[in-house]
Amino acid sequence: MTLGEFALGGFEAHGVRHDIVISGRVVNLDMTRLAADLKRVCEAQIALFEPRTKKAPVERYVFMTVAVSDGYGGLEHRASTALICNRSDLPVRGRPEMTEGYRTYLGLCSHEYFHTWNVKRIKPASFAPYDLSQENYTTLLWLFEGFTSYYDDLMLVRSGLIGAGEYFNLLGKTIGGVLRGTGRLKQSVAQSSFDAWVKYYRADENASNAIVSYYQKGSLVALAFDLSIRAQTANRKSLDDVMRLLWQRYGRDFYRGKPRGILEEDVEALFAEATGADLRALFRDGVRGTRDLPLDALLEPFGIALTPDLPTNGTAGKPSLGVRVRGGADCTLAAVHENSAAQKAGLSAGDVLVAIDGLRVTGANLDALLLRYLPGAKIEVHAFRRDELRRTEVKLDAPDVSRYTLTAIDGRGPSKQWRERWLKG
């Protein structure tokens, strides 16, 4: 429920009323543009699940957003979603450009809307019915959150709100994010799903070294399935067919009659039934195992080369300590990455760096100080651990690879048509 001042808008998507409620004061909100853009996203998703009838899963839907100065998040409901965004993310009348903030907000709306099918109706058996009195365990969050995270941005490109280049940038960032954490080599997305209650939502400073995100890695697992199915079937089948079969079998009638969720042991067979593709290796290594996904090989038939971004200039080009720092007056290490320069020198999360080669370091000037050095340089670091001053020597590493680049390189063969088919749906 929303009380107080708010802006109202709305649109029809395949004949169903969708309302937009924005509370919080937003100057010059371009509601007309927001409604037009969301309509495209919603219609694309409805058509994905019901290509023939274009029947929405709800009688009416409400996007409820609270606009604040600094916030981001969303929660899916059966026929609505509650979102928080920065007011600067919302579109401004007279400024038609696609800002990063607005694209992020549209991605969030797309994510929560996709949940209307995937998790609010298609559910794991252990959530059907959901027992609110205790924690409900499942190994399938990679399918419900990961696949939803894959489709949220994909639906933006399919509905024409962003271009292929922008979509590849987003993918390159996700790939970089997943490959940065060594937790991915220790925990599968199936385990990560099961441990969500005790680990993911209780992340500590060691999280990136110990756990993997079933959102981020789960979205890459979805990408791997999609590309693999398409390549094996010459683009006649795709992950969309998996989603449709899940929908027909479990989702469509979920609120009519006896609710039935999918059993974990039935998932692999359903993928095979929907597509006819051999996905055993991906289930073994990508879902239940911890091997890195063979994304370069999977992207190749679609005419896409995957390369790490090796930054040489700008702050991204600074030699790496291998830490995450809490910004502010103190340079407190929020996380120390495994096998990093800092870890080899004995630094750990919680340490407060005070000086590098005798110069005072803060949360704000660390990058500037590091930029004076080249990879391989040895620096003297003074740091407090609790109230004890320590001195250590750190040998700086090469700059971190934080993202990957996806480049279209079409040779002979159908790669271009395949890529367009994938991105157009």
In the complex, minimum distance from the CB of residue 104 to Zn ion, in angstroms, rounded to a whole number? 14
The smaller minimum CB distance to Zn ion, of residues 239 and 396, is found at: 239
The smaller minimum CB distance to Zn ion, of residues 8 and 75, is found at: 75
Binding characters for Zn ion, 293-312, by CB under 5 A (x = yes): --------------------
Beta bridge partners of 392: 381
In the complex, minimum distance from the CB of residue 171 to Zn ion, in angstroms, rounded to a whole number? 18
In the complex, minimum distance from the CB of residue 81 to Zn ion, in angstroms, rounded to a whole number? 10
Rounded Cα–Cα distance for residues 243 and 114 (Å) = 11
Closest residue to Zn ion, judged by C-beta, is 145
The stretch among 45-53, 142-150, 273-281, 366-374 that binds Zn ion (CB under 5 A) is: 142-150
Rounded Cα–Cα distance for residues 237 and 245 (Å) = 12
Rounded Cα–Cα distance for residues 323 and 209 (Å) = 11
Rounded Cα–Cα distance for residues 243 and 225 (Å) = 12
The stretch among 138-146, 246-254, 288-296, 330-338 that binds Zn ion (CB under 5 A) is: 138-146
The stretch among 62-70, 85-93, 145-153, 309-317 that binds Zn ion (CB under 5 A) is: 145-153
Counting beta carbons within 10 angstroms of the beta carbon of residue 8, is it exposed (0 to 12), middle (13 to 18) or buried (19 or more)?
exposed
User: Which residues neighbour 66 within 8 Å (Cβ) at sequence distance 6 or greater?
Assistant: 23, 24, 82, 83, 84, 85
Nearest-5° angle of CA 209, CA 218, CA 65?
100
The smaller minimum CB distance to Zn ion, of residues 145 and 397, is found at: 145
The smaller minimum CB distance to Zn ion, of residues 145 and 195, is found at: 145
In the complex, minimum distance from the CB of residue 112 to Zn ion, in angstroms, rounded to a whole number? 7
The smaller minimum CB distance to Zn ion, of residues 145 and 153, is found at: 145
In the complex, minimum distance from the CB of residue 196 to Zn ion, in angstroms, rounded to a whole number? 12
User: Which residues neighbour 372 within 8 Å (Cβ) at sequence distance 6 or greater?
Assistant: none
Q: How many residues bind Zn ion (CB under 5 A)?
A: 1
The smaller minimum CB distance to Zn ion, of residues 142 and 225, is found at: 142
In the complex, minimum distance from the CB of residue 155 to Zn ion, in angstroms, rounded to a whole number? 14
Site for Zn ion in 42-61 (CB under 5 A): none
Rounded Cα–Cα distance for residues 218 and 150 (Å) = 8
The smaller minimum CB distance to Zn ion, of residues 142 and 418, is found at: 142
In the complex, minimum distance from the CB of residue 2 to Zn ion, in angstroms, rounded to a whole number? 21
The smaller minimum CB distance to Zn ion, of residues 213 and 415, is found at: 213
The stretch among 129-137, 141-149, 151-159, 233-241 that binds Zn ion (CB under 5 A) is: 141-149
In the complex, minimum distance from the CB of residue 148 to Zn ion, in angstroms, rounded to a whole number? 5
The stretch among 144-152, 176-184, 237-245, 378-386 that binds Zn ion (CB under 5 A) is: 144-152
**Which amino acid, 255?**
Y
The stretch among 65-73, 137-145, 302-310, 369-377 that binds Zn ion (CB under 5 A) is: 137-145
In the complex, minimum distance from the CB of residue 238 to Zn ion, in angstroms, rounded to a whole number? 21
The smaller minimum CB distance to Zn ion, of residues 75 and 368, is found at: 75
The smaller minimum CB distance to Zn ion, of residues 77 and 173, is found at: 77
In the complex, minimum distance from the CB of residue 324 to Zn ion, in angstroms, rounded to a whole number? 24
The smaller minimum CB distance to Zn ion, of residues 212 and 347, is found at: 212
In the complex, minimum distance from the CB of residue 109 to Zn ion, in angstroms, rounded to a whole number? 12
Footprint of Zn ion (CB under 5 A): 145
